[in-house]
Chain A
Amino acid sequence: MILQVSSSPHIRDRSSTPRLMLDVVIALIPALIASIYMFGYRAALVTAVTVGSAVLFEYISRKVMKRYNSISDYSAVVTGLLLAFNLSPTIPLYIPVIGSFIAIVIVKQMFGGIGQNFVNPALAARVILTLSYPSAMTRWAILASRAKDAGAAAVNGAAGGADLISAATPLYLLQDSGGQVTSDMPTYLHMFIGFKGGCLGEVPILALLIGIVYLVIRKTIALWTPLAFVGTVGLLTFLGGQDPLYHMLSGGLVLGAFFMATDYVTVPLTRSGRVIFGIGCGLITSLIRLFGGMTEGVSFAILFMNLLTPHIERLTTPVPFGGRAHEKQ
């Protein structure tokens, strides 16, 4: 008989890192299916290339750095999926590969791998790509066969792939019209289902919501950050004199708030910290959307708040049960 010893506790629950990551992958699948429906095979192709290269870079970098192989924790798949969801369906296929390299090798593995990156890898990659390839990253398009649903002004002329025609994003249209929703812009329903221009994963709000419900039921994510984020955007755009619902449904807000601002690694550990994080993201997003030169600010907002995470965490360190807060020194 061999006696096994270890420190207590001697029982563990069934959760595991791979299972949590797999939950996120499962939650993103409805949106992936919807975007393939919306954008055609290009969406599948862009996703496959991004996820494939992300996993490959993860494998190679772990090998080169002589660390244990970590591709089986699915975190690279999640990063790949999220990065693909931030790309336009018309993007030349070498750009996602560069994006995966930035996300996995530079942002994640060079800082120590899973749990160690200080900003969201997929978002950092998106921002770097947007700055490096501005036109390719913002050439939005929609499948010609779905165009008639997407509103007249959203679609102008043919461009991109065979049956993809270019389409402006609702936020672009909104900025163009001085913040007023006009009749030739996509309706709420179209925005909700996803008949509009935009990134792969930004578009199908309904499908994203299905995934969000799954994550909440599985208790993989808590809604503190996303609700604070979306709520702040709604409130501030309303105060700014624009249509809050239109703002909440457009751009990367839902994808960003529920899938990026809930990324475990780069948000504060404390609950109050997460609420502050969400409010901060909402504030910066609204400021960029209302006053900035760019049409969209979700990714910059989250990245900026990622950098503030350690500070928020320090400010919201909980007081122990029965204890008192530290006195200021």
Chain B
Amino acid sequence: MFKLGHFSGGVHPKSNKNTHFYPTRRLDDFPVVRIPMSMHIGPPCTCIVKPGDHVLVGQVIGEADTPMAVPIHSSVSGTVKSTQREVASNGRSMTVVTIESDGQHTMHPDIRPPVVENRDDFIRALRESGLVGLGGAGFPTHMKMKPPPGKEPDVLVINAAECEPYITADFRQCAEHPDEIIDGIMKVMHYMDIPLAQVGIEKNKPLAADVLEYELVKLNLSSNLQPNIKIQRLPTRYPQGAEKMLIYALTGRKVPTGGLPHDAHVLVLNVSTVRFISKYLKTGIPLIRKRVTLDGSAIQVPCNVNVPIGAPIPDVVEAAGGLHPGTKDGKVKVIMGGSMMGVALDRLEATIIKHNNAILVFGEKEADIPDETQCIRCSRCVTSCPMHLMPTMLDNMARNKDIDGLNHYHVMDCIECGSCTYVCPAKRFLVQSIRNGKSYVRQAMAKEGTKK
């Protein structure tokens, strides 16, 4: 039905999937969790608890009052210690609720499976579950389910590519919960009325593809169901899991620049997102836990952990085995997310948030920042750009604040995948510079807006 596409460009970083074969460890005993009131794209939630309140697991503590926002739930039972405004790791200032756990993990009595009969119920349930895209961007999932008229999806693309080095959280999801993944896909297909689902998995994770296919066979034998779900093995090439590249690989469609997947009549969900949907419809437990990969040269025991949202990152690292003794006095880099697109933390107070999928701690050698030298125009950034941009040109223009040039060379189309910077022999910080360029363009646009 579809001609599978191969995006041009991309890079082949060492995959470093060291945590592939270790079952996820569930970690529960965190004395304190700190939950920020914004873990999604869109306005922050309003905090509805105050210090001294007793909260239970799954209780709403942040109310979503705008259509884009999703509610935030307590991930432990215990007492609210404080609700302070803080600057979070993404640089935004927001209220952070600190809850002292009583260690009981008492579930809120109102938690029960949602009653879902039609699409509206389904979308409402997803919103109430606090679900955001678990792949990394944090886009509220219920918003994806409401495409503008005429842009209804006819393909469901499931992102299990996991092209980022180190991260294996989605792979473990496939290996440990294939039944719930398939069930979640079928639920979304049913309520959203989508005839076909394509699951994209990179070829270096054959086991993930195998277990999902086996699950489909089992389903056929046990209940004679044959959902139209195709498991596709894709070439291992970063950024295969980038939304636009994945859609192209699985459907041959290109999302127009500046557009969203629904412009190509596609709905994209991460594999962990669909698994959560399945589990939520069965149990009614909102999004309060997250599977994250812990890895990097400074981590003693690389592994996947399943932790409550809001667990402080140093505590998570410590509970999972801690850092190598030698690294404690030296320089380290703590990265929230993957090695290609993650954010390096400038403070350790950060906590696990909804769309967090990895914590990497790099030791001295990997943490070192290379010296930037002059561009030699080798064109490697140009050939590696999956969006077909000219990073070195953009770099130059961003440094000169050349707004017209930045626009002419399509700076806003950059997906910040990092391929150009990864291959640059002059070790230039191309992505950083392009991000600056984007903000110059946004500033100029805002200025233009106020003039008119």
**A residues within 8 Å of B by Cβ?**
1-13, 15-17, 19-20, 73, 75, 112-116, 264-265, 269-271, 317-324, 326
Query: Residue B347 contacts which of A3, A264, A271, A318 (CB distance < 8 angstroms)?
Result: A3
On chain A, the residues within 8 Å of B380 by CB distance are: 15
- Distance between B8 CB and nearest chain A CB, rounded to angstroms: 8
As a 0/1 sequence over residues 361 to 393 of chain B, the CB contacts with chain A under 8 angstroms (1 = contact) are: 010001111100111111110110011111011
The 4 A-B pairs with the shortest beta carbon distances in the complex, nearest first, are A9-B418, A7-B432, A323-B257, A322-B254
B379 adjacent to A269 (CB under 8 Å): yes
Query: Residue A323 contacts which of B335, B340, B413 (CB distance < 8 angstroms)?
Result: B413
A9 adjacent to B340 (CB under 8 Å): yes
Besides the known contacts A1-B327, A4-B333, A8-B344, 7 further A-B residue pairs in the complex with CB atoms under 8 A apart = A4-B331, A7-B429, A9-B421, A11-B165, A16-B426, A113-B374, A115-B374
B425 adjacent to A115 (CB under 8 Å): no
**B residues within 8 Å of A by Cβ?**
7, 11, 13-14, 165, 244, 248, 254-257, 259, 327-335, 337, 339-348, 360, 362, 366-370, 373-380, 382-383, 386-390, 392-393, 408-410, 413, 416, 418, 421-427, 429, 431-432, 435
B369 adjacent to A16 (CB under 8 Å): no
Q: How far is the CA of A319 from the CA of B382 in the complex (A)?
A: 12
Nearest residue (CB) in A for B255 is A322
A115 adjacent to B376 (CB under 8 Å): yes
Count chain B CB atoms within 10 A of each CB in A17, A114, A321 and give the residue with the most.
A321
On chain A, the residues within 8 Å of B327 by CB distance are: 1
B341 adjacent to A5 (CB under 8 Å): no
Query: Residue B344 contacts which of A5, A115, A322, A324 (CB distance < 8 angstroms)?
Result: A5
On chain B, the residues within 8 Å of A324 by CB distance are: 257
- Distance between A85 CB and nearest chain B CB, rounded to angstroms: 20
- Distance between A107 CB and nearest chain B CB, rounded to angstroms: 15
A13 adjacent to B378 (CB under 8 Å): no
A320 adjacent to B374 (CB under 8 Å): no
B257 adjacent to A320 (CB under 8 Å): yes
Nearest residue (CB) in B for A113 is B374
Q: How far is the CA of A323 from the CA of B375 in the complex (A)?
A: 27
- Distance between A167 CB and nearest chain B CB, rounded to angstroms: 37
Q: How far is the CA of A7 from the CA of B374 in the complex (A)?
A: 18
Decide yes or no: A12 and B379 within 8 Å by CB, A269-B390, A322-B257 being known contacts: no
Q: How far is the CA of A301 from the CA of B360 in the complex (A)?
A: 52
B410 adjacent to A320 (CB under 8 Å): yes
A13 adjacent to B13 (CB under 8 Å): yes
On chain B, the residues within 8 Å of A9 by CB distance are: 339-341, 418, 421-422, 431
- Distance between B383 CB and nearest chain A CB, rounded to angstroms: 7
Task: Show 14 residue pairs from A and B whose CB-CB distance is below 8 angstroms, ordered by the A residue.
Answer: A1-B330, A8-B342, A8-B421, A9-B431, A10-B333, A11-B14, A11-B165, A11-B339, A20-B376, A20-B425, A112-B374, A269-B390, A321-B413, A322-B255
On chain A, the residues within 8 Å of B422 by CB distance are: 9, 11-13
The B interface is mostly helix, strand or loop, or mixed, namely loop
B425 adjacent to A269 (CB under 8 Å): no
Nearest residue (CB) in A for B379 is A269
On chain B, the residues within 8 Å of A5 by CB distance are: 333, 344-346
Q: How far is the CA of A138 from the CA of B259 in the complex (A)?
A: 61
Nearest residue (CB) in A for B257 is A323
Q: How far is the CA of A115 from the CA of B374 in the complex (A)?
A: 7
- Distance between A110 CB and nearest chain B CB, rounded to angstroms: 15
Query: Residue B390 contacts which of A318, A322, A326 (CB distance < 8 angstroms)?
Result: A318
A3 adjacent to B334 (CB under 8 Å): yes
- Distance between A257 CB and nearest chain B CB, rounded to angstroms: 17
Nearest residue (CB) in B for A318 is B388
B335 adjacent to A3 (CB under 8 Å): no
Query: Residue B342 contacts which of A10, A20, A73 (CB distance < 8 angstroms)?
Result: A10
B387 adjacent to A321 (CB under 8 Å): yes
Decide yes or no: A321 and B339 within 8 Å by CB, A5-B344, A73-B373 being known contacts: no
On chain B, the residues within 8 Å of A269 by CB distance are: 377, 379, 382, 390, 392-393
Q: How far is the CA of A58 from the CA of B371 in the complex (A)?
A: 20
On chain A, the residues within 8 Å of B376 by CB distance are: 17, 20, 75, 114-115, 264-265
- Distance between A35 CB and nearest chain B CB, rounded to angstroms: 27
B373 adjacent to A17 (CB under 8 Å): yes
- Distance between A216 CB and nearest chain B CB, rounded to angstroms: 15
On chain A, the residues within 8 Å of B256 by CB distance are: 322-323
- Distance between B159 CB and nearest chain A CB, rounded to angstroms: 17
B378 adjacent to A20 (CB under 8 Å): yes
Query: Residue B408 contacts which of A4, A73, A319, A326 (CB distance < 8 angstroms)?
Result: A326
On chain B, the residues within 8 Å of A115 by CB distance are: 374-377, 426
Decide yes or no: A10 and B373 within 8 Å by CB, A1-B332, A318-B390, A320-B389 being known contacts: no
On chain A, the residues within 8 Å of B392 by CB distance are: 269
B390 adjacent to A3 (CB under 8 Å): no
On chain A, the residues within 8 Å of B435 by CB distance are: 7
Q: How far is the CA of A19 from the CA of B431 in the complex (A)?
A: 23
A321 adjacent to B386 (CB under 8 Å): yes
On chain A, the residues within 8 Å of B393 by CB distance are: 269
On chain A, the residues within 8 Å of B387 by CB distance are: 320-321
Q: How far is the CA of A74 from the CA of B14 in the complex (A)?
A: 28
On chain B, the residues within 8 Å of A270 by CB distance are: 379, 382, 390
On chain B, the residues within 8 Å of A75 by CB distance are: 376
Q: How far is the CA of A47 from the CA of B146 in the complex (A)?
A: 70
A264 adjacent to B379 (CB under 8 Å): yes
Query: Residue A12 contacts which of B7, B244, B257, B421 (CB distance < 8 angstroms)?
Result: B421
Nearest residue (CB) in B for A270 is B382
Query: Residue B427 contacts which of A12, A20, A319, A326 (CB distance < 8 angstroms)?
Result: A12
On chain A, the residues within 8 Å of B362 by CB distance are: 4, 10
- Distance between A23 CB and nearest chain B CB, rounded to angstroms: 11
A320 adjacent to B388 (CB under 8 Å): yes
B333 adjacent to A319 (CB under 8 Å): no
- Distance between B242 CB and nearest chain A CB, rounded to angstroms: 10
On chain B, the residues within 8 Å of A3 by CB distance are: 331-334, 344-348
On chain B, the residues within 8 Å of A2 by CB distance are: 330-332
A317 adjacent to B374 (CB under 8 Å): no
A317 adjacent to B390 (CB under 8 Å): yes
Q: How far is the CA of A15 from the CA of B424 in the complex (A)?
A: 7
On chain A, the residues within 8 Å of B367 by CB distance are: 4
Q: How far is the CA of A112 from the CA of B248 in the complex (A)?
A: 41
Decide yes or no: A13 and B342 within 8 Å by CB, A7-B435, A322-B256 being known contacts: no
Q: How far is the CA of A271 from the CA of B383 in the complex (A)?
A: 8
On chain B, the residues within 8 Å of A320 by CB distance are: 257, 387-389, 410, 413
Nearest residue (CB) in A for B418 is A9
Q: How far is the CA of A256 from the CA of B341 in the complex (A)?
A: 41
On chain A, the residues within 8 Å of B431 by CB distance are: 7-9
On chain B, the residues within 8 Å of A20 by CB distance are: 376, 378, 425
On chain A, the residues within 8 Å of B339 by CB distance are: 8-11
